[in-house]
Amino acid sequence: MMKQVTVFLLLLSLVSGCDDRPEIALKYVVNIPESIPQHAMFHPKLDAPEQRNAHKMYLEAHRTGWDSCLADFQEFGFRNEPDSNRFLLMQQFKLQLDAKNAGYSECETAIELLIDQYGENAVREALRKSK
Kindly report, residue by residue over 4-42, the tens digit of the pLDDT: 554 433 433 333 444 456 788 788 989 999 999 999 988
Q: Look at the chain and report how many structural domains it folds into.
A: 1
Backbone angles phi, psi at 88, to 5 degrees: -75, 120
User: Which residues contact residue 29 at a Cβ distance below 8 angstroms, ignoring those fewer than 6 apart?
Assistant: 4, 5, 6, 7, 106
Which range marks the domain in which residue 49 is found?
2-130
Backbone angles phi, psi at 15, to 5 degrees: -100, 120
The pTM score is 0.76
Using DSSP bridges, classify how beta strands 39-42 and 50-53 pair: parallel, antiparallel or unpaired: antiparallel
Q: Under DSSP, is residue 104 helix (H, G, I), strand (E, B) or coil? A: helix
